[in-house]
Structure 1
Amino acid sequence: MRTPSSWLILAAAVVVSVPAAATTDAERLDVYHQFRAAFDAHHYQEALPLAQQLVTLTEEQYGASDRALVNPLSNLATTEYRLGDYKDAEAAYLRGVKIVEDSGGNGNADRLLLRPLHGLGVTYYASGQYEDASIALKRALDLSRNLDGLFNAGQVAILDPLIASLVTLERHDEAERQYQYAVRIAENAYGTGDAHVLRPLDRYAHWLEHMGRYGTARALWARALAIAEQAGRGTLLVISPLHGIARTYRLEFVNGGEDETLAPGDPFAPGNDLPPSGMNSQRLNPDGERALQLAMQAIDKTQPVDHLRRGSTLIELGDWYMSSGLVSKGVQTYRDAWKELALGGSTATLAAPRQLAYRAPSTSITRSHLTERDNVEEHFVEVSFTVTRDGHTADMTPTATDASESQQRLVLSAVKRARYAPRFENGEPVDTQGVKLHERLVTKKPH
């Protein structure tokens, strides 16, 4: 005869032996639709538990290593990425990549690998892991080209963060090749004269400016201007190219052209740091000022007037006058720009000083020809100073350095000659204390 306790044990055993109800496609699809609704509405905190639930349901239905998990894992990782949780996003993307790789597919032609690989690269970039980002994104780029063709437009989403990673890593030759490739993708997809080509041209030209290749950048801006004028979508497309043309003339005048080389002799010798030759021996090319005047005309023809664009153009014009030595005219133009920006809703551009002219010492890592050699070592000087209301510098003081006193003097001299656009408060220029400049220098290693 069974005791009551034995009946309880038997009942428990029966309960345990009954399998859980299997997850169904309909259940997963319902959770997915809820997830998409929250995610597409940018309610990422609401989307997160749904994405986690979708991963759990898929695991229950297919197992922890099935390829069906890759897309739910990517959804979860993307949600975590949008929430700024890069660590968990990285883990989820990596798990998706591993599932695909372990499934025995062709890694060079498996479309399921593309999304987690792309997401992993973007996550690495967002978390400052630029080398890892470049590796993952290059792999995703190669996969995209294998799957959809060398010039497929879909690869642009991968190409943009790859370029940003290469630029940050200072891998300039690789970055330039990818900038050029982005232009070719747009040309192949839309035609060489289509307005879609303007965005990659704009990005490439801005990078060339940053690299000091002003003539090459200006040629791209001129091409962009021709495309904008023919696009037939309104005159405002010409604003950015006109700004670029003017800016490259100004920067070339201030910093020297890309074909200029350092004077022969020892670049570490003292007294080798004259102001930019253009600022003393030649005038600014008037074509730059004309370009800005054309931009103003294009803005004023469009109604209602775009005050932010008008303000940004006046800032470029103010920069032009300041670089020409016409300080009073430049400051007044900035005042006019501030009024336009205020009407447009944001004066942030004029809320801090902006560097207009700075000629780094010849020992700067940006100028020295010895940076690729093995017999050099790097030092730094950080300077704090005041930018006055007329754009000059004052009260220069080294705040951190491991450089020699002579190197510090060179940096201080360069900062003294620098020119800035002043900060504005309530429409008027004001002094700004505590402005910082960090200069990296290279020197010969001691024998």
Structure 2
Amino acid sequence: MSRSSAGGWTVAKATVALCVALVARPAHPHAGADAVEPDATALMELGRLQYAQREFASAQVSFSRAVEQIERAHDPLASELIEPLVALGDAQVGAGRFEQASQSFARAVSIVRREGGVNDARQLVPLEKMADAQAFSGQMQAAAGSLKYFERVSEATYGAQSRPFGEKLTRVADRLCQFGFYFDGRSRHRRALGILDGADTAEIDALRSTARCNLYEISAFAIVTPAQLPEQLRGVAGRPQHFNADSTSFRTNVVRLMRYESEQALTRAARLALASETMPASEKVQVLLEAGDWFQMRDHVRTARGYYEQVLLLMRTGDDARTTLLSSPVMLMYAPPPLSLLNEFERSEATTRRFVVAQFEVRADGRVQSERVIARDATKTMVDETLSALRAARYRPRFVNGKPEDTLKVTYRQIFLQ
């Protein structure tokens, strides 16, 4: 540990000690509001330090006690509660208590509305956090409602044609797509792009988000892509029979899902990124990778290669020369075996874990060949489904001296829960 980091850690420990001393100090039985407030302040400081150390359960206790202190000093609708309630909600999210978190954020929103009206901009932070907590707890309709209210407050705050509102609208659209409201998300992406036309990085972000929405939509068919959702949001995945990887129509159906609107968005984003004089090389690389990956998944290998070659050029000339970025293959699209989806979200101790380990070659065009099983604790059906899924997978190939190359002996481990 360096001297500076050690010194910082000592300061943090001393601050915690001070907070604990303040928290532990008994209040005089006849003390008024001014005597209680320092204890709430100390509790908040302690909670922030605990949260920074990822001690979410402890932080939750500290923030809860701060809320109680303020309620006793003021009242249950005091504006002083807004910050502690938001902090409490953050700690509850960290601890995985999403329903409790959504209630904490909702209470903060209610206090703001009561004090400042339905369009008070102070609602924006807790509203956005509340939508995420609702989604993680499975309340998708409620989450969508919170986002739409967030949109309304943003429009009232910044103006319907302002760049800040366009950026907020992009965030609303992205989350709606994550939560499964693809039509609503796409309509807001279109509106955001109309507002942000010519806004450089903000327009690029909206264009990338437009394509990401399409990848979220594909994930609803239990097909893994670079925009794969957290499992808490995705729920138990299902897939129609004609989307199984061993179906002859699988690729046709997947390509049909990849909207031309999204393809145009990524193409424009890449063009704007290359032309930008302010965007760092590292960010340009990410935009170009997303465009290349899109065309790679569509089997437009020559177009994808053009974007990857531009990435290599930027890595040689830019400030962020990550030479290993394209040095090994990366899985871009994979339809997990149907049997692996049956108990995907079961994590009980009684669950039996089976596996198939396959080895294969990733060709220069990103396709898989010569797949074979090298280890397994699974049935023949599980093995067959795994090999079929790998044959339908698509990879970003590795590049050697600026050219895509075959990669031998790539391995993949597929887990089945029973």
TM above 0.5? yes
3-state SS of 2:332 partner: strand
Q: What is the rounded CA distance, in whole Å, between the counterparts of 1:334 and 1:317 in structure 2?
A: 9
Write out per-residue CA displacement over residues 385-436 of structure 1, whole angstroms, 9 at most, x where no aligned residue.
55725433464659888x8754664454234312132456886657484445
Residue 60 of structure 2 is matched in structure 1 by 90
Residue of 21, 25, 46 corresponding to 1:56 = 21
Work out whether 1:134 is the aligned partner of 2:102. yes
Supply the AA of the counterpart residue of 1:311: V
For residue 153 of structure 1, report the CA deviation from its aligned partner.
2.1
Work out whether 1:67 is the aligned partner of 2:36. yes
Which deviates more from structure 2 when the two are superposed, residues 344-353 or residues 305-314?
A: 344-353
Distance 1:383 1:302, change over 3 A: same
Q: What is the rounded CA distance, in whole Å, between the counterparts of 1:115 and 1:400 in structure 2?
A: 52
Residue 202 of structure 1 is matched in structure 2 by 170
Residue 129 of structure 2 is matched in structure 1 by 161
Residue 223 of structure 1 is matched in structure 2 by 191
Residue 80 of structure 2 is matched in structure 1 by 112
Structure 2 contact 23–43 (Cα < 8 Å) conserved = no
Q: What is the rounded CA distance, in whole Å, between the counterparts of 2:303 and 2:182 in structure 1?
A: 25
For residue 285 of structure 1, report the CA deviation from its aligned partner.
5.8
1:238-257 matched pairs, under 5 angstroms? 238-246=203-211
Q: What is the rounded CA distance, in whole Å, between the counterparts of 2:122 and 2:329 in structure 1?
A: 39
Distance 1:180 1:251, change over 3 A: closer
Supply the AA of the counterpart residue of 2:332: L
Q: What is the rounded CA distance, in whole Å, between the counterparts of 1:179 and 1:361 in structure 2?
A: 34
Distance 1:209 1:90, change over 3 A: closer
Q: What is the rounded CA distance, in whole Å, between the counterparts of 1:439 and 1:201 in structure 2?
A: 39
Distance 1:398 1:355, change over 3 A: same
Structure 1 contact 228–237 (Cα < 8 Å) conserved = yes
Work out whether 1:414 is the aligned partner of 2:389. yes
Write out per-residue CA displacement over residues 28-51 of structure 1, whole angstroms, 9 at most, x where no aligned residue.
xxxxxxxxxxxxxx9575255235
Runs of 5+ unmatched residues, structure 1: 1-41, 372-377, 442-447
Structure 2 contact 245–389 (Cα < 8 Å) conserved = no
For residue 122 of structure 1, report the CA deviation from its aligned partner.
0.9
Residue 278 of structure 1 is matched in structure 2 by 253
For residue 161 of structure 1, report the CA deviation from its aligned partner.
3.4
Distance 1:387 1:226, change over 3 A: farther
For residue 60 of structure 1, report the CA deviation from its aligned partner.
5.0
Structure 2 contact 201–279 (Cα < 8 Å) conserved = no
Q: What is the rounded CA distance, in whole Å, between the counterparts of 1:211 and 1:398 in structure 2?
A: 38
Residue 285 of structure 2 is matched in structure 1 by 311
Supply the AA of the counterpart residue of 2:161: G
Work out whether 1:320 is the aligned partner of 2:290. no
Write out per-residue CA displacement over residues 250-274 of structure 1, whole angstroms, 9 at most, x where no aligned residue.
7778988xxxx976xx99x998795
User: How many residues are treated as equivalent by the alignment?
Assistant: 379
Write out per-residue CA displacement over residues 120-157 of structure 1, whole angstroms, 9 at most, x where no aligned residue.
22122224443443343333333333343333222333
Residue of 314, 319, 330 corresponding to 1:340 = 314
3-state SS of 2:395 partner: strand
Residue 357 of structure 1 is matched in structure 2 by 333
Distance 1:169 1:412, change over 3 A: farther
Structure 1 contact 134–162 (Cα < 8 Å) conserved = yes
For residue 196 of structure 1, report the CA deviation from its aligned partner.
1.8
Q: What is the rounded CA distance, in whole Å, between the counterparts of 2:168 and 2:262 in structure 1?
A: 23
Supply the AA of the counterpart residue of 2:132: A
For residue 228 of structure 1, report the CA deviation from its aligned partner.
0.5
Write out per-residue CA displacement over residues 57-91 of structure 1, whole angstroms, 9 at most, x where no aligned residue.
58658449963121221122112322334344233
Q: What is the rounded CA distance, in whole Å, between the counterparts of 1:406 and 1:184 in structure 2?
A: 51
Structure 2 contact 174–213 (Cα < 8 Å) conserved = no
Distance 1:335 1:308, change over 3 A: same
For residue 225 of structure 1, report the CA deviation from its aligned partner.
0.9
Q: What is the rounded CA distance, in whole Å, between the counterparts of 1:396 and 1:201 in structure 2?
A: 47
3-state SS of 1:303 partner: coil
Residue 123 of structure 1 is matched in structure 2 by 91
Runs of 5+ unmatched residues, structure 2: 1-6, 222-237, 346-350
Residue 392 of structure 1 is matched in structure 2 by 367
3-state SS of 1:193 partner: coil
1:163-178 matched pairs, under 5 angstroms? 163-178=131-146
TM-score w.r.t. the length of structure 1 is 0.66
Q: What is the rounded CA distance, in whole Å, between the counterparts of 1:179 and 1:439 in structure 2?
A: 36
Distance 1:63 1:355, change over 3 A: farther
- RMSD of aligned Cα (Å): 4.6
TM-score w.r.t. the length of structure 2 is 0.70
Structure with the greater alpha carbon radius of gyration: 1
Residue of 250, 272, 285 corresponding to 1:298 = 272
Residue 182 of structure 1 is matched in structure 2 by 150
Q: What is the rounded CA distance, in whole Å, between the counterparts of 2:128 and 2:287 in structure 1?
A: 27
Structure 1 contact 77–88 (Cα < 8 Å) conserved = yes
Which deviates more from structure 2 when the two are superposed, residues 354-363 or residues 236-245?
A: 354-363
Residue of 201, 204, 217 corresponding to 1:236 = 201
Structure 1 contact 292–316 (Cα < 8 Å) conserved = yes
Structure 1 contact 144–155 (Cα < 8 Å) conserved = yes
- Percent sequence identity is 22
Residue 228 of structure 2 is matched in structure 1 by none
Distance 1:84 1:315, change over 3 A: same
